Structure 1
Amino acid sequence: MSRQVDMFVIGAGPAGLCAALRLQQLGYRVMLIERSAVWPRAQIGEALTPGVKNIIAFLDANDAMEHVPHLTRLPTRLSWRSKTVETVAHADAAVVDRAAFDAALLQLAKARGIEVHQPAALDSITGGAGAWQLAFSTPGATHLVKARMILDAQGRQGKPAQQLLSAPRLSAMWVEIAENHIPADMAHVTQVEALAHGWLWGTRLPDRRYRVMLLSDPATSRQLHAGEPESWLRSQCAASTLFADVAQQQFSSSLQMCSATPYVALNSWQDGRIKLGDAAFALDPISSSGVEKAMRFSLQAALAVHTFCQADNPAQQTLAHEFYQQRLLETCARHHFWTTAYYRQAWCSEQPFWRSRSISSLASSSLASAASNPESRLMTDALQLEMDRLENYREPVLQAGPGIQGDQMIRFHPAVEIVPLPCAMADKVKLLPAMRHPHLERPLAFWENEAVLPRLEILSQQTRLASARDLLGQTMGLQKAQRLLTWLWQRGLLEVVSH
């Protein structure tokens, strides 16, 4: 006999668990399956950026996560812009035991009533949006489930033809060093070093081991050390400044490898079936923000799913899709833009590895495949457009001087456009009016958590500053209203009308 649930989540990584917990908060019946029989499972991605704390707090999960082993305040020794080593403080970042982090989130999901099956193998999916039928197996049993929505958080499982590469191919290889073999000067720091053929990253883990990871072009590795990945890793350590002592060091683990190529999936949203985390996109690991971005996107995806399920008409369902797609493209494009700029800063930026990754455009292989695939072409064009927008944007020079006075007549600058923008508001996606202008990086719907329109519609026609301030002040306070008007004027979004 089939079970009935609202949401069927596949995968118990941070992305899948984050979505499951949020959807359960919103009142949905959630079932989650995880294929791994080993749990807690070893996992890379231990470096967490500060925003993860806010997500954990939003999920009301602080108590559940407080005992996860972690290290904070590890300084970073960096050899990037030059071969000279600099030390950078990272007070809010953390290195966690990822196995324990994932296990704590999974335990929280169970405690909150999410039905979890593990290990479980998905056997089949039939049906369609709103009426999916799934069969999966656990040791000794077969289960049949009906679900309204499927959320795929299985990680890098997609076929290459279904992925749009946003940068040249990148591989990661790593080993661990036992505590008693860690060089003394590396024991309490994170290290990052740019090399001619890639970059090295290393940090102490909460269990006192030290991990060393090399990111490089897999083709270069095969060309210079074919069939000898450990030899390739040791040679790069030997060529470095910060990791030279590791080159002859005894490793406590066997070398492991995986793809680290950034990409975005072409089919992330299908009616009633969406992708999360690495199933939807992967970012260059240089920022160490992959876990945070995956969890944040899962919250946004949960909002889109909730909006889709509660929609009264097709237009609202389309809005949910547009919001999801917009956030997916924006996440990938922003990170790509930041990454290319950071790669250009490397002291060895003229080397082929760095030159090919310092270009704010999609990988040539993706552009070639897009030419013959309509679905790929649409995604390619949309992602490239977002990349170009970020590349072409320039911060405005703020207007100086005493500012605008209360008796002056003001109005929107002629270049200001009012456009519709899908926005997160409360627990749903809503279409709100937003301001678009060349001096804004993206359309502006909110300022300091205040919806700026329709409040500012008075400025579509000339009006006295004092009148606009008083009208805005009725809902946000006079001081905040004055700050908002000054902020708009400094950026050239308002103009003074001559008497």
Structure 2
Amino acid sequence: MRPARQYAVIVVGGGVAGTTTALALAREGIPVCVLERTQYDRWRPGETLSPLAHAELLRLGVPLPEAGEDLIPSHGIEAVWGSEHPQFHPFITNPYGGGWHVDRQRFDALLAHHAEAHQVPILRLTSAVYIERGPGAWNVHANAPSGELNLTCERVVDATGRASSIARQCGVRRHQVDALCSVSVVLTQPERLEQTLLVESTPLGWWYAAPLPDQRVIVSLLSDADLLALAGAFRPSGWLALLSATRYIRERLGTLPEDLRLHVRPCETSSLERSAGEHWLAVGDAASGLDPLSSGGILKALRSGHRAAAALRAAQEGDSTAHQQYAEAQSSEFARYLEARLGHYATERRWPDEPFWRRRMEEPAATAA
């Protein structure tokens, strides 16, 4: 699809939050374009899609595919947290049905496909280099496979994840609450692996293991970056040594290969000091990044995209307070999340003197990042 030069909205970033925003706008007849710097081929951690996400996808008109290639059923969550024994939280009683284990690359590509079916241009391998405010419009300067690309729009959406590159260009700072980081390995799935998300806390931090499509399983260790470095977790031998100290995670994996490819990904809790301004707003992780312990990354992104689209539509119809109201709602939601995060970590009391857990027993003090 050949891109036009002018749109009502340009979304920078084609992840779940970005494509949800674009798809919701397109369904309202609002001209929108998405700039996505990848071809949906870069590694991203697998994720468990909660039953509540079903309703959000239905609002978008996006049916989930059949179980198999892109996703597999999830029966619930097992948590070894605050106790020596796992507690099972099933999805079967949820009114929205069961959950799913998804491959994020495929899930993001699925949403992009549906957006394109609604005539949303998704310009792959295209990165916004900088934006500038002209008379009555944004000028978006991007690099595309064909060379430099210049587009204009009335409003721009920052969906660039924790980088928040558009908001930062607008002079907005990002506040970081912690330095959480994940070190993950994708393995061949052992036989008869339970179709559940397993979470297990340890003195260093916590682990999770979840099945993925194509008979794979993702295993991740999460702790603060400085603690991971001290423990040697960024080396395969160190990661394996730490894995051997777990009980339930290690038991599930069977024989491990000798050569492991580690995937390191920052996943700190952080947020913009404000998630909207004049003629721009931020969605998903660009607005605020949550601890993966919430297991709600996709759900949060879907809901954020819906709310952003509603705010953009209201602003286009003349509501001068729409962006401010959106930013205030985002700020209130993040404050509630911080309270819930503090309470959840407080339920694990077995290692109060370990740095990771001690840091989470106190009210978080945000620092500018």
- Which TM-score band applies after superposition, normalised by the shorter structure? 0.7 to 0.9
Q: How big is the shift at 1:118?
A: 1.2
1:461 equivalent in structure 2: none
CA distance in 1, matches of 2:178, 2:127: 33
1:268 equivalent in structure 2: 275
CA distance in 1, matches of 2:134, 2:350: 51
Q: How big is the shift at 1:124?
A: 3.5
Classify the secondary structure of the residue corresponding to 1:62: coil
Give the conservation status (yes or no) of the 8 Å contact 1:80–1:347: no
User: In the alignment, does 2:361 pair up with 1:358?
Assistant: yes
List per-residue Cα deviations over 1:423-465 (Å, max 9, x = no partner).
xxxxxxxxxxxxxxxxxxxxxxxxxxxxxxxxxxxxxxxxxxx
Give the conservation status (yes or no) of the 8 Å contact 2:48–2:74: no
Where does structure 2 lack aligned partners over 5 or more consecutive residues?
Answer: 93-97
Out of 284, 296, 301, the residue aligned to residue 289 of structure 1 is 296
Q: How big is the shift at 1:215?
A: 0.5
CA distance in 1, matches of 2:29, 2:220: 42
Q: Whose helix fraction is larger, Structure 1's or Structure 2's?
A: 1
1:135 equivalent in structure 2: 141
| Distance 1:287-1:26 versus aligned 2 partners, 3 A rule | same
1:449 equivalent in structure 2: none
Give the conservation status (yes or no) of the 8 Å contact 1:80–1:192: yes
| Distance 1:2-1:94 versus aligned 2 partners, 3 A rule | closer
List per-residue Cα deviations over 1:348-383 (Å, max 9, x = no partner).
251331232133x332x52xx6xxxxxx9xxxxxxx
1:12 equivalent in structure 2: 14
Out of 304, 307, 314, the residue aligned to residue 300 of structure 1 is 307
Give the conservation status (yes or no) of the 8 Å contact 2:6–2:151: yes
Matched AA of 1:256: H
Give the conservation status (yes or no) of the 8 Å contact 2:281–2:323: no
1:124 equivalent in structure 2: 130
Matched AA of 2:28: L
2:331 equivalent in structure 1: 329
Classify the secondary structure of the residue corresponding to 2:8: strand
Q: Select the structure of larger CA radius of gyration.
A: 1
Q: How big is the shift at 1:223?
A: 2.0
CA distance in 1, matches of 2:338, 2:134: 34
CA distance in 1, matches of 2:26, 2:316: 14
Give the conservation status (yes or no) of the 8 Å contact 1:21–1:109: yes
CA distance in 2, matches of 1:48, 1:141: 37
| Distance 1:325-1:82 versus aligned 2 partners, 3 A rule | same
Note the 1:244-255 alignment, pairs <5 A: 244-245=250-251, 246=253, 249-250=256-257, 254-255=261-262
Give the conservation status (yes or no) of the 8 Å contact 2:76–2:90: yes
Classify the secondary structure of the residue corresponding to 2:44: coil
Matched AA of 1:222: A
Name which structure has the greater RCO, CA cutoff 8 Å, separation 6+: 2
2:79 equivalent in structure 1: 78
Give the conservation status (yes or no) of the 8 Å contact 1:129–1:272: no
User: In the alignment, does 2:193 pair up with 1:178?
Assistant: no
Q: How big is the shift at 1:2?
A: 7.6
CA distance in 2, matches of 1:87, 1:278: 29
Note the 1:41-60 alignment, pairs <5 A: 41-60=42-61
Matched AA of 1:255: L
| Distance 1:70-1:248 versus aligned 2 partners, 3 A rule | closer
Classify the secondary structure of the residue corresponding to 1:362: coil
Superposition TM-score, scaled by structure 2 size: 0.87
Q: How big is the shift at 1:128?
A: 4.4
CA distance in 1, matches of 2:312, 2:52: 23
Classify the secondary structure of the residue corresponding to 1:243: helix
Note the 1:181-330 alignment, pairs <5 A: 182=190, 184=191, 186-225=193-232, 228-245=234-251, 246=253, 249-250=256-257, 254-311=261-318, 316-317=319-320, 319-330=321-332
1:145 equivalent in structure 2: 151
Out of 89, 101, 108, the residue aligned to residue 114 of structure 2 is 108
Give the conservation status (yes or no) of the 8 Å contact 1:174–1:212: yes
Out of 168, 176, 200, the residue aligned to residue 178 of structure 2 is 168
Q: How big is the shift at 1:232?
A: 3.4
Give the conservation status (yes or no) of the 8 Å contact 1:300–1:327: no
Give the conservation status (yes or no) of the 8 Å contact 1:125–1:135: yes
| Distance 1:129-1:215 versus aligned 2 partners, 3 A rule | farther
CA distance in 1, matches of 2:186, 2:161: 23
Q: How big is the shift at 1:27?
A: 2.0
Matched AA of 2:146: G
Q: CA-atom RMSD, angstroms?
A: 2.6
Give the conservation status (yes or no) of the 8 Å contact 2:51–2:91: no
Classify the secondary structure of the residue corresponding to 1:12: coil
CA distance in 1, matches of 2:305, 2:50: 16
Q: How big is the shift at 1:264?
A: 0.5
Identical-residue share of aligned pairs (%): 25
Matched AA of 1:42: W
CA distance in 1, matches of 2:258, 2:30: 47
| Distance 1:251-1:336 versus aligned 2 partners, 3 A rule | farther
Matched AA of 2:361: S
Classify the secondary structure of the residue corresponding to 1:156: helix
Give the conservation status (yes or no) of the 8 Å contact 1:177–1:252: no
CA distance in 1, matches of 2:301, 2:361: 23
Matched AA of 1:83: E
Q: How big is the shift at 1:281?
A: 0.8
Matched AA of 1:59: L
Give the conservation status (yes or no) of the 8 Å contact 2:20–2:306: yes
